[in-house]
Amino acid sequence: MTRNILIITGDYTEDYETYAVKQMLQLVGYNVHLVSPGKKCGDFIVTAVHDFLPGEQTYTELKGHRIEINFDFDKVDTANYHGLFLPGGRCSEFLRLNDRVIEIVKEFDTKKKPIAAVCHGTQVLTAANVVKGVKCTAYPACKPEVSQAGGIYQDIAVDDAVVDQHIVSGKAWPCHPKLIQLFISLLGTKITHN
Amino acid sequence: MTRNILIITGDYTEDYETYAVKQMLQLVGYNVHLVSPGKKCGDFIVTAVHDFLPGEQTYTELKGHRIEINFDFDKVDTANYHGLFLPGGRCSEFLRLNDRVIEIVKEFDTKKKPIAAVCHGTQVLTAANVVKGVKCTAYPACKPEVSQAGGIYQDIAVDDAVVDQHIVSGKAWPCHPKLIQLFISLLGTKITHN
Amino acid sequence: MTRNILIITGDYTEDYETYAVKQMLQLVGYNVHLVSPGKKCGDFIVTAVHDFLPGEQTYTELKGHRIEINFDFDKVDTANYHGLFLPGGRCSEFLRLNDRVIEIVKEFDTKKKPIAAVCHGTQVLTAANVVKGVKCTAYPACKPEVSQAGGIYQDIAVDDAVVDQHIVSGKAWPCHPKLIQLFISLLGTKITHN
Amino acid sequence: MTRNILIITGDYTEDYETYAVKQMLQLVGYNVHLVSPGKKCGDFIVTAVHDFLPGEQTYTELKGHRIEINFDFDKVDTANYHGLFLPGGRCSEFLRLNDRVIEIVKEFDTKKKPIAAVCHGTQVLTAANVVKGVKCTAYPACKPEVSQAGGIYQDIAVDDAVVDQHIVSGKAWPCHPKLIQLFISLLGTKITHN
Amino acid sequence: MTRNILIITGDYTEDYETYAVKQMLQLVGYNVHLVSPGKKCGDFIVTAVHDFLPGEQTYTELKGHRIEINFDFDKVDTANYHGLFLPGGRCSEFLRLNDRVIEIVKEFDTKKKPIAAVCHGTQVLTAANVVKGVKCTAYPACKPEVSQAGGIYQDIAVDDAVVDQHIVSGKAWPCHPKLIQLFISLLGTKITHN
Amino acid sequence: MTRNILIITGDYTEDYETYAVKQMLQLVGYNVHLVSPGKKCGDFIVTAVHDFLPGEQTYTELKGHRIEINFDFDKVDTANYHGLFLPGGRCSEFLRLNDRVIEIVKEFDTKKKPIAAVCHGTQVLTAANVVKGVKCTAYPACKPEVSQAGGIYQDIAVDDAVVDQHIVSGKAWPCHPKLIQLFISLLGTKITHN
């Protein structure tokens, strides 16, 4: 069986958080399905470039790449996937309203399959009510959601990540290397050098 | 005594939600202080234009007007204000992390002074823990925060607003006329026509 | 009878000058019809954000919100309106070429119904030839049109407004609160506070 | 003596209308001074790209090239120039407020030296009161200014131009080839082919 | 017979390098055909504004004007043209892959008809293999292509141009006046002043 | 010894091609130095988002993330690195003009250390004259440079990559997973799954 990962994304996801992660997972041998509610294989999502400009209180937003969806959301069967990845950006706040998205998250959680989330992606975990008593992190501005959902917010470095049981999380895209290392480690992937 | 209203805003607030509301309140006779953590009178904030494009799953973001802050955040004394307004946009998620912002909200709440919030502005109310048992609304994607904070989310029309005790709220900028009517009604303002 | 106001607008109107004014008028109880030549209820106009950047000789322009037209231009009957508002931005220069727009302005003027204009909106008044001997103002760069049309240009503060008979005018969007106060005062609206 | 042409321009001039014209005049052997009030040789102006998008009522605006000013405005002596060119875009409306700009235009006019204007550039001519009884044209939305100033507006094709005595004018940048042919013809330039 | 010039352009050509040059050639009496592979008369190309911002290692890119194609590419017969112009920008790198584009360049070269290229436009000449032993120039970053194709790269001033036999070239759009003077001089055009 | 990779990048590199690749290499255990001529650790580069819009002949360009340089270019000693990566975008055309960049490439090549290039990155390889007789690829529009430099251009799928001796290359960012798999395979990295 191929090693499949599901990424649930949507319009105005952070560009890196969907696409760079997809490529990182492909690099180490995973087959990645990018899905989004209401979209089918071959559809596109628009993305946001979130970056920090000196002197501004929060990130700025620019338009990023269009990203192609490569699997129908309606055909997702969680039994076919080894793990779930939840990117951040502005998609997370509306993805968490979708019943099927929440159901998918819960199915992964119930079976203790690895779940990784970055930035606002953790908002989907809090809405799915799967972080109670779990040490996790998120974009700092999402700390209130984590706390209200009973998660134990970890104030780690922006390029670090935290794992608790089968849930891995990081604050923003600089954490990707560490976040995905922890994620694929849970999935049983090993990297060695001569 | 002049009739003062406090608006707590910040970078990437929705342009209309800070400035159109400021002008609406000025129109009916209020003196409005626009403040933002770390900013002084004469500083500027940058804003976001949030709009909906056909075929996209959520709002798009463009750069809006720069808006001038007209009072030092550090000098805010809640005793001087009759009401508080919390605009939405992307500022709300970080404003709620600021201890003094939360303290200000609680001071208004404790004294039952009118508070109005639009869109993501309700996120500041939920973080301040003042919506327990309160019928209120917010941008639909923020419904989870309202529920987790014990608020009773009202799924009203986008141009409608809801009042419960001293708290008025609406979903997005189309609600401004109704929202501010309810707000100034709490504040004791009456409008009559010949 | 409902209290109706007509706003004639168009593509690249200044965003605030059409939409913030619409909401201000709705706030104090008016039913507002946004119309534009060639457009019907449900069509959209695109808008311009006009702002000042340090070091530039004039305003810069960004894209603003799309605004929905809510009444067919072709169905406008001036008998149904208590007042007329003319926003500025780049729409004014072409709106003044439209014969029906000019006719509408003249009908309001003849009946001495209140007319308000902001910024380049005054260009429509000068083209309609209704400012002869009238004290009025406009975006400063439009002073030549005012003078050539026989108006008496008032060099007031940017947040002030001027009224002469039934015509109210201001220089740019910071004047809205004062401008609309004068306008609704002509219309017979009173605001009182407890 | 070198053959000098003066171009008075400013921020948000239409990009082509300042720079393409400058290069056209240089091509046929003129030394061109680009000047702007308050600016010195080596300063830059920002420009606007004005273009038409299908379905919009007027031109859209994008940012264009920065253009370098190559002569100090304060050092302009009209005795040194054979002709004057006035580009359009959004600079024209504020350039006409500058007393020295108006004085310069009048000096060229009084001496019957060739003057060419394109698009909104004609607004500077009308403000300088030099088009009375003159057949001229402008961007169509500026027809009211032409008429109010006593000019005889010519509704010609967008790629055509009109000359009356020493004044040449066109409606918009597609007219440049014809406009500059007429202008340099007045200046005594001849083009021949083997 | 009319004096015809062919310009081969495409999407993301530098705005000035296609349109300002077209107008310069029209000014001095040429009939200019703008063509692009796959496009017909009445189609449009999108363009790029390439400019330099302080502190950046290379030019920045903005969107420029849409430019209308005025002749079908498929109908080009080189016998009908006196000269060929190749603009720069990002179109050059893909235009040189088109067999018919290369064939057209070779036909002009074989007959020693004047060819002018600016900026990246020289990439089309190097791909067509017509610069062997020819003194020519290009945008500095294209020097490697010139050298690899056997051309003798000329490191001239940015507003200068170089001619060798029937080939004229320049580094970037500031060279247009000199470049087109050399080009039309080859074509037999003379400019005189009274 | 840590496993170090050098990435030579610059302003207007394609955003993904520098940053996603950096994170992919970090994921599998490499320490990555991002360097750029004239820049030091802590400086930033600006990037370009290159994407394809329906109906356009080539990629469009938007602004991407600012990326932080994390090592001084002037301190690069090729002895410290196991491999070299050359991203594409618009930086490649000017990087190849820098003598030290070319020298660095040649040092890696001489020692047969793995070199990977994507998109326009191959332009640096052709300028360094290291592709003679080498099967390699590049962004299709760069095929002429590959051929003129004696490389054997491989017209492979856009998500594929090609390796010949110690040189790996791909056409554009969709190739990253395959490209980096081949690159790290040369470097001696193995990935296994339980």
pLDDT in tens, B117-127: 999 999 999 99
The residues, ordered by sequence, that sit 6+ positions from B47 with a Cβ below 8 Å of its Cβ are: B11, B12, B13, B14, B15, B18, B19, B63, B64, B65, B66, B67, B89
Mean pLDDT over A53-64 rounds to 97
CB atoms within 10 A of CB A112: 11
Query: Which DSSP string corresponds to chain C?
Result: ---EEEEE--TTEEHHHHHHHHHHHHHTT-EEEEE-TT--TT-EE-EEEEE--TT-SS-EEEE---EE--S-GGG--GGG-SEEEE--BTTHHHHTT-HHHHHHHHHHHHTT--EEEEGGGHHHHHHTT--TT-EE---GGGHHHHHHTT-EE----TT-EEEETTEEEESSGGGHHHHHHHHHHHTTEEEEE-
Q: What is the pLDDT of residue B2?
A: 83
pLDDT at position B77 over 60: yes
Whether F148 has its CB under 8 Å from any CB of chain A: the answer is no
3-state secondary structure of C164: strand
The residues, ordered by sequence, that sit 6+ positions from E76 with a Cβ below 8 Å of its Cβ are: E6, E33, E35, E100, E104
Whether F82 has its CB under 8 Å from any CB of chain A: the answer is no
DSSP D106: H
**How deeply is A129 buried, as exposed, middle or buried, from its count of CB atoms within 10 A (0-12, 13-18, 19+)?**
middle
Touching A (3+ Cβ pairs <8 A), the chains are B, F
pLDDT at position F194 over 90: no
3-state secondary structure of F176: helix
Q: How far is CA F181 from CA A162, F24, F163, in A?
A: 26, 10, 11
Whether C126 has its CB under 8 Å from any CB of chain D: the answer is yes
Q: What is the pLDDT of residue F2?
A: 84
Are B190 and C192 within 8 A, CB to CB?
Answer: yes
> What value does the mean pLDDT of chain F take?
97
Whether D40 has its CB under 8 Å from any CB of chain C: the answer is no
CA distance C150 to C129: 8
Answer yes or no: is C193 within a domain: no
CA distance B187 to A192: 68
E176 CB-side CA count, 13 A:
27
Residue B59 in tokens: 């709002």
Q: Are strands E83-86 and E4-8 parallel, antiparallel or unpaired?
A: parallel
Which residue's structure tokens are 């290379």?
E58
Answer yes or no: is F19 within a domain: yes
How many Å is the Cα radius of gyration of chain D? 15
Mean pLDDT over F165-186 rounds to 98
Instruction: Provide, as residue numbers in chain E, all residues whose Cβ is less than 8 Å from the Cβ of F56.
Output: 11-12, 46
Instruction: Provide, as residue numbers in chain D, all residues whose Cβ is less than 8 Å from the Cβ of E27.
Output: 24, 27-28, 176-177, 180-181
What CATH number does residue E176 fall under?
A: 3.40.50.880
Using a threshold of 3 CB pairs under 8 A, tell whether chains B and C touch. Answer: yes
Residue B176 in tokens: 């401004």
Beta bridge partners of A83: A5
User: Band of the pLDDT at E194, cuts 50, 70, 90?
Assistant: confident
Phi and psi, residue F155, nearest 5°: -90, 75
CA distance B119 to B179: 11
Mutate to test the interface with E, among D2, D22, D24, D184 (most CBs of E within 10 A): D24
Closest C-alpha to F55, from A68, D54, E38: E38
Query: Which DSSP string corresponds to D11-50?
Result: TTEEHHHHHHHHHHHHHTT-EEEEE-TT--TT-EE-EEEE
CB-nearest to A94 from B57, B148, B149 is: B57
CA distance E98 to chain F (A): 10
**Cα angle: C24, vertex C27, C28; to 5 degrees:** 100
Mean pLDDT over E2-20 rounds to 97
pTM of the full structure: 0.97
CA distance C27 to A186: 57
Query: Tens of pLDDT along E31-41?
Result: 999 999 999 99
3-state secondary structure of E64: coil
Whether A9 has its CB under 8 Å from any CB of chain B: the answer is no
Using a threshold of 3 CB pairs under 8 A, tell whether chains D and F touch. Answer: no
Answer yes or no: is A62 within a domain: yes
3-state secondary structure of F27: helix
Are C94 and D126 within 8 A, CB to CB?
Answer: no
DSSP E136: E
Single-letter amino acid, residue B117: A
Q: In Å, how far from its chain's centre is CA C191?
A: 22
CA distance C13 to C19: 10
Answer yes or no: is A77 within a domain: yes
Whether B81 has its CB under 8 Å from any CB of chain A: the answer is no
Are C177 and B26 within 8 A, CB to CB?
Answer: yes
The count of domains in chain C is 1
> Using an 8 Å Cβ cutoff, are E120 and E139 in contact?
yes
Instruction: Provide, as residue numbers in chain E, all residues whose Cβ is less than 8 Å from the Cβ of D3.
Output: 193
Closest C-alpha to A139, from A123, A120, A153: A120
Answer yes or no: is B192 within a domain: no
User: Band of the pLDDT at C2, cuts 50, 70, 90?
Assistant: confident
C148 → chain D, closest CA residue: D148
Q: Which residues of F47-77 are buried (b: 16+ CB within 10 A; e: fewer)?
A: bbbbbeeeeebbbbbbbbbbbebbbebeebe
CA distance D124 to D96: 5
Phi and psi, residue C169, nearest 5°: -150, 155
Single-letter amino acid, residue C8: I
Mutate to test the interface with E, among F39, F57, F61, F101 (most CBs of E within 10 A): F57
Size of interface C-D (CB pairs under 8 A): 85
Instruction: Provide, as residue numbers in chain E, all residues whose Cβ is less than 8 Å from the Cβ of D176.
Output: 23, 26-27
What residue ranges in B66-188 does DSSP mark as E strands? 67-68, 83-86, 115-118, 135-136, 152-153, 161-164, 167-170
Q: What is the pLDDT of residue B194?
A: 87
Q: What is the pLDDT of residue A107?
A: 98
CA distance B74 to E94: 58
Percent of chain E with pLDDT over 70: 99
Answer yes or no: is E191 within a domain: no
Answer yes or no: is B194 within a domain: no
CA distance D160 to F47: 42
Q: For chain D, what is the total number of helices (H) and then of strands (E)? A: 6, 14
CA distance A56 to chain B (A): 7
DSSP D80: G
CA distance B137 to B169: 6
Domain hosting residue D27, numbered range: 4-186
Residues of chain D with pLDDT under 70: 1
> What value does the mean pLDDT of chain C take?
97
3-state secondary structure of B13: strand
CA distance B136 to B153: 5
User: Band of the pLDDT at A1, cuts 50, 70, 90?
Assistant: low
Q: What is the pLDDT of residue D1?
A: 57
The ipTM is 0.97
Residue F31 in tokens: 């320490």
Answer yes or no: is B134 within a domain: yes
**Cα angle: B150, vertex B151, B152; to 5 degrees:** 120
> Using an 8 Å Cβ cutoff, are B140 and B108 in contact?
no
Residue B58 in tokens: 């959520």
> Using an 8 Å Cβ cutoff, are C130 and C164 in contact?
no
Q: What is the pLDDT of residue D194?
A: 87
D160 CB-side CA count, 13 A:
8
Closest C-alpha to A184, from F194, D18, F83: F194
Query: Tens of pLDDT along E53-80?
Result: 999 999 999 999 999 999 999 999 999 9
Measured torsion, CA atoms of residues B23, B27, B30, B33, in degrees rounded to the nearest 10: 20
Query: Tens of pLDDT along C23-55?
Result: 999 999 999 999 999 999 999 999 999 999 999
